[in-house]
């Protein structure tokens, strides 16, 4: 099993959550809202490129549009390796939290 950084994990989860709408700005916006903090461009795009290079994500470019000044959007999708990585992360998280005393947060990862 390859260990993912927390940001890599959150990016993979974001791509999964956004499904067909997972492009750079949308991923960054979603993550910023999720963590309640504005994330820099580099905080998102560097791990995105790394995840693609390692085979966790695939990407494709949209057709250029006039509203974007003739530019394309790069969309991302989880590969089979990316889905497997998320499943492994979930299992590790559940195992790590299993048997710990309740923190009073009302969260049970085994549900």
pLDDT in tens, 36-94: 999 999 999 999 999 999 999 999 998 888 777 888 899 999 999 999 999 999 999 89
Q: Which fold has domain 6-91?
A: Arc Repressor Mutant, subunit A (1.10.10)
Whole-angstrom Cα distance, residue 74 to residue 24?
7
Predicted pLDDT at 78: 97
Predicted pLDDT at 2: 79
Give me the helix-helix angle, 24-35 and 41-53, nearest 10°.
120
Predicted pLDDT at 33: 96
Predicted pLDDT at 99: 83
pTM of the predicted model as reported, rounded to 2 decimal places: 0.84
| Per-residue confidence band for 97, with pLDDT thresholds at 50, 70 and 90 | confident
Q: Is the dihedral of CA 32, 44, 9, 6 positive or negative?
A: negative
Predicted pLDDT at 71: 87
* 3-class state of residue 58 by DSSP: strand
Predicted pLDDT at 106: 66
The CA-atom distances, in angstroms, between 74 and each of 2, 33, 64, 67 are 25, 21, 11, 15
Q: What are the domain boundaries of the chain?
A: 6-91
Least Cα distance to 10 among 54, 52, 47, 40 occurs for 47
């Amino acid at each position: 099993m390859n260990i993912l950084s927390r940001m890599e994990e959150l990016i993979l989860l974001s791509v999964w959550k956004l499904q067909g709408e997972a492009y750079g700005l949308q991923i960054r916006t979603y993550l910023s809202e999720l963590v309640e903090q504005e994330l820099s461009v580099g905080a998102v795009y560097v791990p995105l490129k790394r995840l693609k290079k390692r085979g966790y994500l695939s990407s494709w470019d949209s057709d250029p549009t006039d509203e974007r000044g003739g530019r394309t959007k790069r969309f991302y999708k989880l590969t089979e390796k990316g889905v497997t990585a998320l499943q492994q992360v979930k299992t590790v998280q559940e195992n790590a939290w299993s048997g710990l005393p309740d923190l009073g947060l009302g969260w049970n990862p085994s549900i």
